[in-house]
A = this chain, B = another copy of it.
Amino acid sequence: MTNNYLDYDTLQFILHEVFDMNGLVDLDYYKDHDAESMNMFLEAIRDLSEKELYPYFAEMDEKPAVFEDGKIIIHPQIAVINQKLSDAGIIAGPVPEEDGGLQMPHMAYTAATYIIDCANNHVSGYTGLTLGAAELIMEYGSDILKGIYVDKMLSGEWAGTMCLTEPQAGSSLSDITTSATPDADGSYKIKGQKIFISGGDHEYSDNFIHLTLARIEGAPAGTKGISLFVVPKKRIKEDQSLENNDVITAGDFQKMGQRGYCTTHLIFGEQDNCKGWLVGAPHKGLNYMFLMMNAARIAVGRGAAAIAMASSRAALLYAQDRKQGRPIASSGKKNVHQEPVSIMEHADVRRMLLSQKVIAEGALAIVMQTSKYYDLKRASESDADKEKYGMLLEIMTPMVKTYPAELGQQVCSDGIQILGGYGFCSEYILQQYARDIRIHSLYEGTTGIQSLDLLARKVTMQDGAALKLLMKEMMSSIGGAKEYEDLVPYATKLESKLGSVQKVLSHLLPHAMKGDFQRFTADANLFMEMMSHITIAWLWLKISISAAEGINKGDSSKLAFYESKIECMKFFYKYELSKTTSLEETIMDSDELTLKENSKVLF
């Protein structure tokens, strides 16, 4: 079995040696799992990905989901994949046992979906959204709603979606206009349009359960007047048969990437005959959505991290194989009689391969670190721990969503560059990765939205408590790294970067205190970039500590592997962490050039 799209050894190392996934089963909540069962689950998913997912990956791009004769046509293999993934437990996996799930650690679920995304990033969303929609019902829905929907969704028989965006309301959800009018039978009449609905309709599911944001008549303006509804494509009649619920599919957005994953335009209630059922209390819809958002944002980061990994593996294979050029000898000339070398011997190609590697693995690390916080928040046995890991989860979430999405684009672009002209050609997969990954910095909240979330909400929450906790985590790793002579300079460097974070915050926070939020958040994106590079640098230090511990254990068969990780950390510090110096310089610059009221720019 060849896994050209995944470095499985590194995944194992990160899961077990760096983040001790198996240790989670010591928590009571996860006690029904063990190292062997989780490993078997991952192996099964890996096998499935190799046989059923990867072989169809390029084809799903060539034959994208389309809208024809009122129907969305998706690649038929997706039916097979959804069934097999559901059977393997990919929907029920992270669901509590009391709701009929497997109550598996989120880390294991995330590792499994990471493998899936490495093999074929167009498909995990179908089951992923079904899980997300089911979780909303389980968490906030009435027992009646749970009884009707949950089992059928966990088994994959019915699909689920999230319906938030409307043509006039993208990032600004406060402007949604889809309406909900109370009906005598306790349901609501739903009327409105939703766009960008991933997995919103196709012929391989008997029903689609749309978790839909809408405004109940007379609700307050803004986000405080938004409620959450279950709106099935087909509603259940008394005799348990299904009838149409006036949910019409109006189109499928054609996209530059991730083309196997349909992106639909839905119209609710065109015939005034679309029923929805309220989830939880009225006007709390956005709160409910946001409470589920951490997992969704980890999932986006995970998808981007996986694409970056797959691109780096494809580029590496090519670079090992492709012979081209010769080194310049000390004479300043090349020896043209020498055989050409493989291109990975050229320093610049090597730099790109290394950059791909450290970003892809760093992205994987932040996904796993955040998933672990998610698990610890969910399963910790003391309230103090739940609170602590909850805050760490909150501050990591915008970064785990953004870093893999943004830096992953650089990885995929380098993947093209390594192949030269072939990288631009459709016959090589690298260009597809570059197109696919472009969505990750847009959906589930753009990078701009995540950056506002990080700086204006998470950094400042509870007087900076989340940030302090994160800094403490980092300081603990810095202390650990200082035990190893080779790591000391890097630990020291990271420590000085924590000082830089304090410095830029001291520069920015006074604007917030004065109530000038425009100025406070104007460079939020740069703060995000700086803070994520530093966070990944911390995770590389953690990786290096685990590698150094591995070396100390003296297993010579793994020595080269461990040394390689430390070398990668050094590369990250030289080529990536160094970018924060400029970011700090820019953030500290007091010129207010992006505020409209000050600007003299003529567009």
Contact = CB atoms under 8 A, between A and B. Distances in A.
Interface in A283-298: none
9 contacts: A169-B324, A175-B324, A330-B515, A350-B594, A351-B594, A354-B594, A354-B601, A409-B413, A567-B593
B170 A518 contact: no
A564 B601 contact: yes
Interface string A304-342: 000000000000100010011111111110101100100
Interface in A540-597: 560-561, 563-564, 566-568, 570-571, 574-575, 578-583, 585-586, 589, 591, 593-596
B567 A599 contact: yes
B560 A574 contact: no
Contact of A425 (B175, B254, B324, B579): B254
Interface string A169-180: 111101100000
A467 interface: no
Nearest to A576: B586
Given A351-B525, A434-B438, 20 more contacts: A169-B324, A172-B324, A172-B326, A174-B334, A175-B324, A254-B426, A256-B426, A320-B603, A328-B456, A344-B596, A347-B594, A350-B599, A354-B601, A416-B438, A417-B448, A564-B601, A567-B601, A571-B593, A575-B586, A582-B583
Contacts of A256: 424-426, 431, 434-435
A200 B329 CA distance: 37
A382 to B, nearest CB: 33
A26 interface: no
A580 B579 CA distance: 9
A574 to B, nearest CB: 5
B172 A353 contact: no
Interface residues of A, number: 110
Interface stretch (A90-98, A102-110, A439-447): A439-447
A423 B602 CA distance: 24
Interface string A52-94: 0000000000000000000000000000000000000000000
Interface of A: 165, 168-172, 174-175, 195-196, 221-223, 253-257, 316, 320, 323-332, 334, 336-337, 340, 344-351, 353-354, 357, 409, 413, 416-417, 420-421, 423-427, 431, 434-435, 438-439, 441-443, 446-448, 451-452, 456, 514-518, 521-525, 560-561, 563-564, 566-568, 570-571, 574-575, 578-583, 585-586, 589, 591, 593-596, 599-603
Contacts of A435: 256, 435
B582 A337 contact: no
A116 to B, nearest CB: 21
Contacts of A351: 522-523, 525, 594
Contact of A324 (B170, B195, B253, B570): B170
Contacts of A523: 347, 351
Contact of A517 (B328, B427, B447): B328
B589 A574 contact: yes
A346 to B, nearest CB: 8
B515 A560 contact: no
A424 B448 contact: no
B603 A357 contact: yes
A-B residue pairs, 10 tightest by C-beta: A222-B336, A330-B515, A564-B602, A347-B522, A328-B517, A256-B431, A582-B582, A254-B426, A172-B325, A348-B448
A585 B326 CA distance: 29
Contacts of A581: 581-582, 585
A421 B443 contact: yes
A336 B222 CA distance: 5
A168 B293 CA distance: 49
B420 A439 contact: no
A578 B586 contact: yes
Nearest to A222: B336
A603 B344 contact: yes
B582 A579 contact: yes
A222 B255 contact: no
B336 A174 contact: yes
Contacts of A448: 346, 348-349, 417
A330 B582 contact: no
Contact of A417 (B165, B446, B574, B580): B446
Contact of A221 (B175, B337, B345): B337
A326 to B, nearest CB: 8
Contact of A593 (B326, B344, B515, B574): B574
Contacts of A593: 354, 567, 570-571, 574-575
